[in-house]
Amino acid sequence: MTATDTRPVDAARALFADRFGAAPAGTWSAPGRVNLIGEHTDYNDGFVLPFAIQHRTHVALAPRNDGRVRVASTFDDGVVEVGLAELGALFPARRDEIPEWARYPLGVAWALLESAGTDPHTPTGVDLAFASDVPVGAGLSSSAAIEGATAVALAEIWGIDLDRVALAKVGRRAENEAVGAPTGIMDQMASLLGRADAAIFLDCRSLEAQVVDLGLAGAGLELVVIDTGVKHSHATGGYGERRAACERGAAALGVPALRDVAPRDLPRLAELVDDVTLRRVRHVVTENQRVLDTVRTLRDHGPTAIGDLLVASHASMRDDFEISVPELDTAVDAALSAGAVGARMTGGGFGGAAIALVAREKVQEVTDAATAAFDAAGFAAPTIFTVTPSAGAARD
Ligand code: ADP
Ligand code: MG
């Protein structure tokens, strides 16, 4: 992100002109996302309820006729260039030769061509320039935004007719294999399927997605993001350790995934696994149930009624899954003390952001309370802003 007020779509066009010396053929974009509830359930074949946000990553693109692909981003001074025909040899085996950020768009190009079964000699090359206002590493999925923008742009100009779910799988494959981050598919689905004023209720096993109206405006509610500024990283061991614990739990119960475990199965698991594994599993199993309860509550009673579910989700991540950090707990506690309807950390944990569901007239109070609590605890000031459930990836 550049430190200017330039709209990211204009920044992408300007970057394109600067790095490639021409005007782009068009721009596409995809949003970041906030997960309303359902954390670490995605790779357990469970349920999640994310929504796309107004922050977007834009890509300016023009075709080339020499089979080369060049990528540029406001994050980086240079241009990364490879031949389309080389992508298959680069990913995943030699991905270390590519700067990390460029593995996202180049990995999408690779995975897209592989799933379309297109001979990489057939499509033309492309130049791609990225600019974004999605905060990076804050748990708002700037990674899915760059993947989604790349996927819809390349699919359109290469004439690859894949539906949104297939494009989400392309993004996940790029992130898993080209980047090397073992993430699930929630972020890509939210970024590609998002709708204004709605969340996406996703079954991560079947990939069936339902749009669930949030009705925030009608209820006079805002969603406040409190970005702690603490950077999470998939490179650290915590994420992999949590996934391994989930796999241990499923294996102990003889099921393919924790999706197949109900809260009533937990006492039986306690006989089979150690305390840490039990608590990891308990988070996932109860969190799945909370997602189902949240969807039902939204439909039957509206968004004001989901506060307790958000609070229970946070407690489960703090105490059982142990992926919160003091900054996130401080943000949640401060928001609730200042009258938020509900609050929880969102995203993979170990840093990133908390969300609070807040009556419009209390947004300032919650903001002030969180800022003051961070100050009192000696933490760096958080970044606080509201997010609006928004539309998914599209041509601009
Ligand atoms: P997040 O929670 O923001 O998704 P990740 O670690 O999953 O955090 O992804 C962030 C990484 O994605 C960045 O470090 C960078 O490599 C890449 N990325 C995201 N947006 C851009 C962009 N606009 N330009 C270049 N790289 C980007
Ligand atoms: Mg990410």
Q: Considering every ligand atom, which ligand is closest to the CA of 148?
A: 1
User: Which pLDDT does position 138 carry in this prediction?
Assistant: 75
Nearest atom of ligand 1 to the alpha carbon of 138: 2
Distance from C-alpha of 42 to C-alpha of 123, rounded to nearest angstrom: 33
Nearest atom of ligand 1 to the alpha carbon of 175: 7
Fold annotation for 8-210: Ribosomal Protein S5; domain 2 (3.30.230)
H or E element: which one contains 310? helix 307-319
User: CB of 205 within 8 A of CB of 45?
Assistant: yes
| The pair of three-digit structure tokens given for residue 9, joined into one six-digit string | 């779509």
pTM, two decimal places = 0.93
Q: Considering every ligand atom, which ligand is closest to the CA of 129?
A: 1
Q: Which of 344, 323, 324 is nearest to 333 (CA)?
A: 344
CA of 135 to the centre of ligand 1 (A): 9
* Ligand 1 probe mutation, 101, 231, 232, most atoms within 8 A of CB: 101
**Residues 243-271: b if buried by 16+ CB within 10 A, e if exposed:** bebbebbbebbeeebbbbbeeeebeebee
Residue spans of the domains in the chain: they are 8-210, 213-387
Residues known to be catalytic: 187
State the CB neighbour count (10 A cutoff) for residue 70.
Answer: 18
Q: Which of 321, 42, 302, 361 is nearest to 183 (CA)?
A: 42
Nearest atom of ligand 1 to the alpha carbon of 347: 2
Q: Considering only CA atoms, which residue is closest to atom 14 of ligand 1?
A: 101
Q: Considering only CA atoms, which residue is closest to atom 10 of ligand 1?
A: 143
User: Which pLDDT does position 234 carry in this prediction?
Assistant: 57
State the CB neighbour count (10 A cutoff) for residue 378.
Answer: 6
Fold annotation for 213-387: Alpha-Beta Plaits (3.30.70)
* Ligand 1 probe mutation, 146, 230, 387, most atoms within 8 A of CB: 146
Query: What residues flank ion ligand 2 with Cβ within 5 A?
Result: 141, 143
Q: Considering only CA atoms, which residue is closest to atom 16 of ligand 1?
A: 101
Q: What is the pLDDT along the chain (396 residues), one digit of tens a residue?
A: 444 578 999 999 999 999 999 999 999 999 999 999 999 999 899 999 999 999 999 999 999 999 999 999 999 999 999 999 999 999 999 999 999 999 999 999 999 999 998 776 677 899 999 999 998 877 789 999 999 999 999 999 999 999 999 999 999 999 999 999 888 899 999 999 999 999 999 999 999 999 999 999 999 999 999 999 998 765 567 888 999 999 999 999 999 999 999 999 999 999 999 999 999 999 999 999 999 999 999 999 999 999 999 999 999 999 999 999 999 999 999 999 999 999 999 988 899 899 999 999 999 999 999 999 999 999 999 999 999 999 999 999
CA distances to 120, 220, 327, 336, 356 from 304, in Å: 51, 9, 25, 14, 12
CA of 196 to the centre of ligand 1 (A): 24
CA of 145 to the centre of ligand 1 (A): 8
CA end-to-end span of the chain = 19
